[in-house]
Structure 1
């Protein structure tokens, strides 16, 4: 079974590692892995009779060689119009109420096959919740590192799935450092949504679903929130696969959104840089889920946006609050990080053709943001 798995490869050093070695990053440059995997074209006409989860796109997914597979029925979230020319994909309707289920199911399936002593994840909340839920489904021991100040509702959700919590003093970066130190312990599978590329191959199903929903085409513009870039890089993977297999005629522009308070990628993009200029100062923001000062895949994110003719947009704290309230008045209660794209589209309207954005996390996880929070 393990022989059927693909290998990890470092995009910088070209160092390879077998997937079953539990090596979570490149041993030479300490950067994140990519995956040596070649997708096959998905037949649009065959999808009507397939399983109603992201595994329906099995030709495009690693780990699709064996059944049954870990699943909670994730994916296939609704695509609904917001205004003329703008639609939202309701990824907050996933089993754990965030888009992170798309990647978590892939990591849990991989861990199930590798049978580690424990699975370890670090998160500001949503990724940890998703990993905890899918590990519970797979019968895997799981520990989740979270920063102090994580939403009590998210902590409750992680505990409910049976995962053990380690609360780390400090911010999200301190939590990541603590988890990475523990990830090298023998028998540990580091279910990192940043370093493990299987997560990106899960998030790319977001675009495959758009392609299916739109009858074999893609929107003109896809707007996504970016912190560590897992959804954007997954979207870029899917766009290149669909275009490369001749299943779409054009590539949509990928537009990335960051909070103005913590926006190292936007600054680098508009400066024409290939990497971030310097780690950002972490300032308080309602969009805490994308407040990443030094994303490990920064260069890949910048290249992906430029390759599609896209751009970076930033949003203020007032715009985030207003967007959350506006969506709630439209019947969609979304957490404050998850409204970033709608905030950006409201502030910069006028794109031609169809624009699609994700609503990534449920408002029930964090509540409604106060309008005065985080104003500088």
Structure 2
């Protein structure tokens, strides 16, 4: 195993220490890890999961895999394809990162694992901890979708329903994370999660014959898919496996869009909360008012030549119905990028469909 490194002050820590954030800056870790190049011609005959890209992963030979990854890529328009990441073992893209966290925790053998989530990351961590035989507690907001709560419980995890919003839930979990012997399986703070989500881009690169689209469109709350994509693009470019990096187009719900506001204001960090007040949104999975990796997200989008887009609640409802009419039932958070479709018609793009519609049902109409 490699080590953690703070991207802001350079402080390092052993992975075995179970330190979940930088003790000086109190921010998320990066991973001190260098991926080796993946030879596309070597992939034939390898395992049909994200672990086929073993040269690029900080862990190998997993004991907890459920066959995650290698999801279909389906063209929907002449320029836009969708990647069906809701066809994962727990029905969301979060399996890509959760399997890395559970495998790491299995090797470290902590007394307990905790996680916090708006739903999908919690169900994924619960499932993979069950696979690994680890004691797991998941913190979720009290308003979390009933189906996601049921799924977490079904996997045998202890459930902590937190009064308040997603931010209150994160604070409760972080307080518990400081208990000795605890592994905080944070999809936000732990960089192993990002090295799982980066396989999304490796799959695109493989499926498109060693190429990538001109734009990679991702929904952004805490930014775990976007930052994983940025890591993969940097690796593929550094190894000469792609000539140019695609633009990263980040999509937020208009009701909770602190990153979009900061980006368009030209800021390097989030604006004051009063400048971007949050409102209720159907896209619960990306309703994050203060993402801890905000600086990294904003920098990654700018460096790629990309941008931020926002979508309204009416656009989210319409996009969910439109995809369903095309045969794809996706949860309301997962349709956010499709709701923005049409903005980049002048270039090829791939949109992720991140969670199954059965997790939340159809978005309700406001009367």
Under TM normalisation by the shorter chain, which class is it?
A: over 0.9
2:346 pairs with 324, 327, 351, which one?
Answer: 351
- 1:240 maps to which residue? 234
2:183 pairs with 189, 212, 218, which one?
Answer: 189
**How many Å separate the matches in 1 of 2:209 and 2:222?**
30
Tell me how far 1:345 sits from its aligned partner.
1.3
The aligned runs of 1:63-142 (5 Å cut-off) are 63-64=59-60, 67-142=61-136
- 2:290 maps to which residue? 294
Q: Tell me if the contact between 2:334 and 2:355 (Cα under 8 Å) persists in the aligned partners.
A: yes
1:362 counterpart = 2:359: no
**How many Å separate the matches in 2 of 1:16 and 1:10?**
6
Q: Tell me if the contact between 1:90 and 1:359 (Cα under 8 Å) persists in the aligned partners.
A: yes
Tell me how far 1:349 sits from its aligned partner.
4.3
Tell me how far 1:68 sits from its aligned partner.
4.5
Structure 1: gaps (5+ residues): none
Tell me how far 1:226 sits from its aligned partner.
0.3
Provide the secondary structure at the position in 1 that maps to 2:288: coil
Provide the secondary structure at the position in 2 that maps to 1:17: strand
- Change over 3 Å in CA distance of 1:241–1:349 after alignment to 2: closer
Q: Tell me if the contact between 1:223 and 1:257 (Cα under 8 Å) persists in the aligned partners.
A: yes
The aligned runs of 1:245-284 (5 Å cut-off) are 245-279=239-273, 280-284=276-280
**How many Å separate the matches in 2 of 1:82 and 1:285?**
26
1:285 pairs with 259, 281, 291, which one?
Answer: 281
Q: Which stretch shifts more, 301-310 or 281-290?
A: 281-290
**How many Å separate the matches in 2 of 1:68 and 1:41?**
20
- 2:312 maps to which residue? 316
Provide the secondary structure at the position in 1 that maps to 2:76: strand
**How many Å separate the matches in 2 of 1:351 and 1:278?**
35
Structure 2: gaps (5+ residues): none
1:332 pairs with 328, 332, 336, which one?
Answer: 328
- 1:42 maps to which residue? 38
Provide the secondary structure at the position in 2 that maps to 1:80: strand
**How many Å separate the matches in 2 of 1:262 and 1:322?**
18
**How many Å separate the matches in 1 of 2:47 and 2:78?**
32
Provide the secondary structure at the position in 1 that maps to 2:86: helix
Tell me how far 1:69 sits from its aligned partner.
2.9
Runs of 4+ in 1 over 6 A off after TM superposition: none
Provide the secondary structure at the position in 2 that maps to 1:119: strand
| Residues 84-117 of structure 1: per-residue CA shift (max 9 Å, x gap) | 1000000000100000000000000000000000
TM-score (norm 2): 0.98
1:173 counterpart = 2:167: yes
1:222 counterpart = 2:219: no
| Residues 252-287 of structure 1: per-residue CA shift (max 9 Å, x gap) | 000000000010100111111101112343310011
- Aligned-residue Cα RMSD (Å) equals 0.9
Tell me how far 1:48 sits from its aligned partner.
1.2
- 1:202 maps to which residue? 196
TM-score (norm 1): 0.96
Provide the secondary structure at the position in 2 that maps to 1:345: coil
| Residues 196-235 of structure 1: per-residue CA shift (max 9 Å, x gap) | 0000000000000000000111111000000000000000
- 1:8 maps to which residue? 4
Tell me how far 1:351 sits from its aligned partner.
2.6
Q: Tell me if the contact between 2:62 and 2:103 (Cα under 8 Å) persists in the aligned partners.
A: no
Tell me how far 1:46 sits from its aligned partner.
1.0
| Residues 330-361 of structure 1: per-residue CA shift (max 9 Å, x gap) | 00000000000000114x24232x21010000
1:54 pairs with 50, 56, 80, which one?
Answer: 50
Provide the secondary structure at the position in 2 that maps to 1:93: coil
**How many Å separate the matches in 2 of 1:351 and 1:223?**
14
1:154 counterpart = 2:148: yes
The number of equivalent residue pairs is 365
Tell me how far 1:372 sits from its aligned partner.
1.6
**How many Å separate the matches in 1 of 2:47 and 2:32?**
26
Q: Tell me if the contact between 1:264 and 1:278 (Cα under 8 Å) persists in the aligned partners.
A: no
